[in-house]
Amino acid sequence: MKVVVIEDEAVAARKLTRMLAALSISVMAHIKSNKQFLELLATEMKPDAYFMDIHLSDGVVFDVLDSHMIDVPIIFTTAYDQYAIKAFKLNSIDYLLKPIDTDELSAAVTKLKKRQSKPLDITLLSSLLQAKSAPPKKLRERISVRIGDHIKSIKIEDIQFFYSRDKINFLYNIAGRSYPIEQTLELIQEELDQRKFFRVSRSYIICIDSIQDIISYSNSRLKVVMKNADIHEIIVSRDRVKGFKDWLD
């Protein structure tokens, strides 16, 4: 079986590709944006299924799905649970929340292999929605940092943003101090409350509660001023501006 993975985070895409390979699923293409998705739909390539993230670098994938008929099964892979009902209206057979669990992915693939080319019946739709109404996976509440020979545990609610500099990742707390962390920004992003934190660029994940000001910047970008963090120039990447504005609302 050959599938297409639609995911704008390279680390997440590679991880999903490895997990699918272990289940004898071949990834024939990796799509990072709605623009690339549209270009793919214009070709004759037809996968057996799509594994789709919802928030891409240039908007939500529904921007494409609402205007194009997709006649192969879709399995959504996302950190957001509020799109489940909309997802199941679009030929979706499952909705996996990040970080993706191996057993849940295996069950989705089994379902995919058994599925025939017909829409979901209402009984299956109802059961899937009920399953997705279960309590969400536990979000990270604290993170440990090393200070010399000591280890300190910091509450997520006390963090203004995470950032990367010179290939080292840091957190920046409400007291205006930076601490190096071992986790990648990709891993941290998956474990945060997506309603409160947003990755504005490859180098910064910011907390909405710590935004002091948002200023128009060059090339249709935005500059975000965080509280007590004047030395940090945080620019929302051009391809993330729309998603950032949606997040603010």
Q: Which of 102, 132, 162 is the last residue of a domain?
A: 132
Residue 116 Cα distances to 106, 121, 132, angstroms: 18, 12, 22
Instruction: Answer yes or no: is 108 within a domain.
Output: yes
The average pLDDT across 35-64 equals 90
**Degrees, nearest 5: CA angle 59-236-178:** 130
Residue 222 pairs in a beta bridge with: 216, 236
The average pLDDT across 26-30 equals 95
Contacts of residue 35, defined as CB under 8 A and 6 or more positions apart, other chains included, come to 58
Amino acid 33 reads S
Q: Which of 112, 132, 152 is the last residue of a domain?
A: 132
Same domain, 48 and 117: yes
Give the whole-number percent of the chain exceeding pLDDT 70: 86
* Domain count along the chain: 2
Instruction: Answer yes or no: is 137 within a domain.
Output: no
Backbone angles phi, psi at 92, to 5 degrees: -85, 145
The average pLDDT across 69-96 equals 74
Instruction: Answer yes or no: is 93 within a domain.
Output: yes
Same domain, 122 and 9: yes
pLDDT tens readout for residues 174-225: 999 999 999 999 889 888 998 899 999 999 999 999 999 999 998 889 999 9
pLDDT for the residue 135: 53
Position with higher pLDDT, 83 vs 102: 102
Same domain, 153 and 119: no
pLDDT for the residue 67: 83
Same domain, 161 and 242: yes
Q: Which of 132, 166, 191 is the last residue of a domain?
A: 132
**Domain interval for residue 183:** 142-248
Same domain, 119 and 146: no
Residue 231 has pLDDT above 70, yes or no: yes
The CATH number of residue 101's host domain is 3.40.50.2300
Same domain, 7 and 84: yes
